[in-house]
Amino acid sequence: MNGPLPRVLLVTDAAVSDDLIVDCARRAAAALPRGAFGVQLRDKRRPLVSLRVFAWQLRRLTRAAGAALFVNGNPQLARDVDADGAHLGSGAGDVQCVRAVLARACWVSVAAHSDGDVRRAVDDGADAVLVSPVFATRSVSAARPGSKAGRGVAAIRSACAVAQSRSFVYALGGVSVDTAPACADAGADGVAIIRGLLASAEPGRAARAIHDAFETR
């Protein structure tokens, strides 16, 4: 992927309506410099035909806003909608195979729930690792109650030490306006956010505050 590093990645949630996701993404992108925002489409529930339609909607939005679009777990779909790259779950695929499917310059990120995951992703040539969960998390939707304990910012520091600048390190899980500065201080290159933006009444303002936490460090 060419252009500046996306500091803020919005990860979509299947429990949230398409309209809310689009509105959130539009407002967040408008509040940030071009290239500083990206959307990761993650939806394991809907049929592929419907997912493809939504992916194109996000592609048009992100392209107009100068933002990036990544597709979770489906490099073929990422290729078909001309996304900027794909995201893989931990142990879910081979980075080089994904690049071959996309058949062009692209960004491939990998989920990392341990230092071992980070090491494997970096050795496989991943552009970025999404370290999670950093802070305690809970669902955006009341229809999916539950929470996960966080690993703490030590997980970011450890991931950075393993990556040794060969892959970008993003913090995921419980990231918000309040917790983003700690992620930046721990060495993260950016953050991936779900609830911190989708549940915000002012996602543009939230995205800007999170972005600026990195620019001032």
Residue 147 lies in a domain: no
List the domain range (segments joined by +) for residue 96. Answer: 8-109+172-215
Q: What is the pLDDT of residue 125?
A: 94
Residue 64 lies in a domain: yes
Residue 98 lies in a domain: yes
Residue 95 lies in a domain: yes
Residue 149 lies in a domain: no
CATH code for position 194: 3.20.20.70
Q: Which amino acid is at 59?
A: R
Residue 122 lies in a domain: no
pLDDT digits (tens, 9 = 90+) for 92-105: 678 999 999 998 88
Contacts 24+ apart (CB under 8 A), 96-101: 96/124, 96/125, 99/125, 101/75, 101/76
Please say whether the beta carbons of 208 and 31 come within 8 A: yes
pLDDT digits (tens, 9 = 90+) for 130-171: 999 999 876 544 444 456 778 899 999 999 999 999 999 999
Residue 55 lies in a domain: yes
pLDDT above 90 coverage of the chain, percent: 84
Is a pLDDT exceeding 70 seen at residue 15? yes
d(CA 133, CA 170): 11
What pTM does this model have?
0.92
d(CA 66, CA 24): 15
Structurally, the chain folds into a number of domains equal to 1
Residue 103 lies in a domain: yes
